[in-house]
Amino acid sequence: MHFFEEDNGSLIFRENGETVMLTPWGADSLRVRAKVMGEIGGDSPALLPVPKTDAKIQIQDWEASIQNGSLKAVLMVQPWGHALQITFFDEEGKVLLREIPNGGALQKKARQFQALPGGACFLKASFVPEPGEKIYGMGQYQQEIMDLKGCNLELAHRNSQASIPFYISSVGYGFLWNNAAIGEVHFGCNTTEWTALAARQLDYWVTAGKTPARILENFAAVTGKPPMMPEYGLGFWQCKLRYYNQEQVLSVAREYQRRQIPLDVLVIDYYHWPRCGDWRFHEEFFPDPEDMVEKLHQMGIETMVSVWPQVDWRSENYEEMKQQGLLVKSNAGVDVQMNYLGNNVFMDATNPRTRQYVWEKCRENYARLGIRAFWLDEAEPEFTTYDYTHYRYYAGPVAEVGNIYPREYARMFYEGQQAEGQQDIVNLIRCAWVGSQRYGALVWSGDIHSTYEDFRKQICAGIHMGLSGIPWWTTDIGGFHGGVTADEGFRELLIRWFQFGTFCPVMRLHGHRQPSVDIVDKSGEQRECTGADNEVWSFGPEAYEILKKFIMIRERMREYTRKIMREAHEKGTPLMRALFYEFPDDKACWDVKDAYLFGPDVLVAPVCYEKARSRSVYLPAGARWVHSGSGREYAGGRTYEIQAPLDTLPVFLREGREDYLIGMI
C-alpha cells in the first residue's frame, strides 16, 4: 500500500476517503489540512500567502516525515485501522506536540468529521499535551488566569471576550487553529481538544521557536503586523459616556488646554446620531460638526467618533440596505438581532458591498469633516442572545465563519481610509480575530465593571492579547460600569487603574460614571443618557494632581513608546509583555500574572488591591533593575516588597536602559 505522496512541496496522506496535507508555511512552520471525501481547499481564514519554502520530505511504506527549518512532523500509520498519527519535533528531536494515538482496540480518532447537511462537518481535533506544559495567548477572556492549562474556552466573541485561537506553549511551539467557526477548546491534562460547530476541513498551523519572541515573530509573519501607530496614539485620550452635544465637547477640550494638560484625542461616544444605521451627527445636538472638528484641530486634538454596526428599522438607510442584501440575516423568525433603543439588525461586514456602502456614509458624514479616527463599537457583533447558529453572513453561516466579523469590520474602515490617502490609521474596536492587527485595530477590553477584580483581569487580558498577535490593546480606565464619581473608594480605584493605563499601549479614560442624566430631544423622545463628569479634574483635588502627574509621565515616555510601537510594526511584537517573553530561561517568570514589561525595559507592577500601599514584585533573573522613583538598584531573580503610596506604583527599569526615565515615578 502507498499511503503517502509528495505533491508540489507538500506531503499528502490518503486512506479510506480521508486526505491529510502538510505544507511548509513560513519559517519553521507547517500547515496541516485534512478532509474526508473531497479535495483539500486552498482558502485560509487566517493565514496569509507566504513565499514557498523547500522542505525535506522522506517517505516510507508506513511512515513519512516533512521538515521545514527547525520543525519536523513525523506521520505514522498505526496498524489497527490504518489511522494516522502526526507528531511534531523541534530541531533537537524533542517532542513538541502529538495528535492522540488511536489506542489500538479503542479506535480513537485524532481527527473526527461528523457530516452535517449542506456539506460542512462538526469537527474535532485531539492532541496529547506534553507533561508540565504551560499555555498562553488565545485572545481575551475575562479571567484572572495566566497559564491556560486546564481551561475550557469558548471559541466565540462576546462583549469583553475576543477569541483568537493561537497560543504559545512553554514547550517551544506556537499553535493556530486556522478556523473561524464557533467552537470550543479544552486544554485538559490528558488531551487538548478543539471543536468547530461547522467546518469544511480541518486546518491548523504549528511553528517552532526556541523563545516566545521567535514563535510570535513567526506567527506575525504569516498573519500580519500592525501599521505604525500615529503620533496621536502615544499620548492621553479623553472619553466618557457620553459627550452628547457640540458645546460639551468643545468646553472639555478648552478646559484641558486652559490647564495645560496635553490631550491627543477626544472621543465622541455613541448615539450622537439620530438612529443606529444613520452614521451621521444629529443636527439638534451637533449643529456644525465641521466647525467643531476644526476647532479641536486648532487645539492640537484629534476627534474620534463612535460607529455602531446596528441598523435600526427606523434608520434612513434600513430599507435600502435590506433590499440590497447588506444586512446580517436571521435564519428564521423576525429579524431583530439586538433590541436596544429600537429594533436593530447588523450590517454585514463580511460583504464587500456592505463595506463600501457603510464606508461611503462615514466618509461623507465624518471623514470629510476632518475626522481621522473611528471607534468601532459592538464589533463581536453583540447579538442579544448570542445564539450563533441562528444567523448567516455573506461569508457563510455564523456557526461556520462567525469569528471573522470584527476583523472585517476593522478592514472596512482601514481600507476606506487608505483609499482616501490616509496613512496614519488607528481605530478603536471592541473585538478582534486573527489578522485584525494589520487593519489598524486598537482593541479595548469591553464593558467591564469598576471593581478591583475586573482591574486584575485586565492585566492578564492585555498580556494574553499581546501573545495572540494583537499589540495594540487598551481598557476603559476605571472600568465602564458602576463607577460613582464622588465615591472615595471609586476614586482610589480610578487612580490605580490610571497608573496602569499610563503603561498600556494606549492611555484612554472612559466609563459610564454615576449618577447619569437623562437627555430628551425637542420632539420629546428620550435619548441615551449622559454619565457624570469623567475628566481628570472631576474626582477631587488629590486625584487631580495624581492623574495629571501620570499624564505628564506618559508624555515623558513618548520617545520610548514610539520606539516600541515601531518594533511592533516591524516584528509584530507585543507592547505589554509577559515577563517570560524577555526572560524565558527564568522559570519563575512563567507564573507571574500581576506584572508585565512595557516594551523590553520597563517592568510595571500595578497596585490592584483595595487600599494597598505596597506590593511584592518579582524581578527577573538575568538583569539588574533600577527603581524608577528612587533610583535604587535591585538584583534580579528575587521578590521584593515595594512601597507604593497612592500617588505612585512600582516601576523598574532594566539597568543601563532608558535611564532618562529614572525619577519620573
Whole-model pTM: value is 0.97
In the predicted structure, residue 161 carries a pLDDT above the cut 90? yes
Q: Assign 600 a pLDDT band (cuts: 50, 70, 90).
A: very high
* 511: its cell numbers: 466609563
pLDDT digits (tens, 9 = 90+) for 345-401: 999 999 999 999 999 999 999 999 999 999 999 999 999 989 999 999 999 999 999
pLDDT digits (tens, 9 = 90+) for 492-544: 999 999 999 999 999 999 999 999 999 999 999 999 999 999 999 999 999 99
Q: What is the mean pLDDT of residues 3-21?
A: 96
Structural domains in the chain, sorted by start: 4-223 (2.60.40.1760), 231-571 (3.20.20.80), 578-661 (2.60.40.1180)
Rounded Cα distance between 504 and 550, Å, is 12
HSE at residue 393, side-chain half, CA atoms within 13 A, is 28
Contacts of 552 by beta carbon, 8 Å cutoff, 6+ apart: 262
pLDDT digits (tens, 9 = 90+) for 449-490: 999 999 999 999 999 999 999 999 999 999 999 999 999 999
What is the widest separation between alpha-carbon atoms in the chain?
Answer: 82
The closest of 63, 62, 67, 49 to 9, measured between CA atoms, is: 67
List residues bridging with 642 in a β-sheet.
615
The pLDDT value recorded for residue 324 is 98
| Three-state SS at 246 | helix
Strands 265-268 and 302-307, sheet pairing: parallel
Rounded Cα distance between 425 and 442, Å, is 10
Q: What is the mean pLDDT of residues 593-607?
A: 98
* 562: its cell numbers: 514610539
Rounded Cα distance between 146 and 298, Å, is 44
Rounded Cα distance between 323 and 340, Å, is 23
Q: What is the mean pLDDT of residues 411-424?
A: 97
Rounded Cα distance between 136 and 467, Å, is 7
567-577 burial by CB neighbour count: b if 16+ within 10 A, else e? ebbeebbbbbb
SS (H, E, C) 39-60: CCCCCCCCCCCCCCCCCEEEEC
The pLDDT value recorded for residue 529 is 96
Note whether 474 and 508 are within 8 A (CB).
yes
Note whether 473 and 462 are within 8 A (CB).
yes
Length of the chain: 665
Phi, psi of 332, rounded to the nearest 5 degrees = -155, 160
pLDDT digits (tens, 9 = 90+) for 645-662: 999 999 999 998 777 777
In the predicted structure, residue 192 carries a pLDDT above the cut 90? yes
Contacts of 56 by beta carbon, 8 Å cutoff, 6+ apart: 65, 66, 67, 68
> Over the Cα atoms of the chain, what is R_g?
26
- DSSP one-letter string for 191-204: -EEEEEEEESSEEE
Q: What is the mean pLDDT of residues 234-242?
A: 98
- DSSP one-letter string for 4-50: EEEETTEEEEEETTEEEEEEE-STTEEEEEEEESSPPP---SSPPP-
- Burial zone of 131 (CB within 10 Å; 0-12 exposed, 13-18 middle, 19+ buried): exposed
> Sheet containing 427-429: which strands, arranged edge to edge?
473-474, 441-444, 427-429, 373-376, 302-307, 265-268, 236-238, 507-509
Compute CA 103 distance to the chain's CA centroid, rounded to the nearest angstrom: 38
**Could you tell me the end-to-end alpha-carbon distance of the chain, in angstroms, rounded to an integer?**
70
The pLDDT value recorded for residue 342 is 94
Rounded Cα distance between 489 and 570, Å, is 42
Rounded Cα distance between 465 and 578, Å, is 11
Q: What is the mean pLDDT of residues 175-190?
A: 98
Q: Which residues are catalytic?
A: 377, 380, 447
Q: What is the mean pLDDT of residues 158-179?
A: 98
SS (H, E, C) 407-432: HHHHHHHHHHHHHCCCCCCCEEECCC
The pLDDT value recorded for residue 546 is 98
Percent of the chain topping pLDDT 70: 100
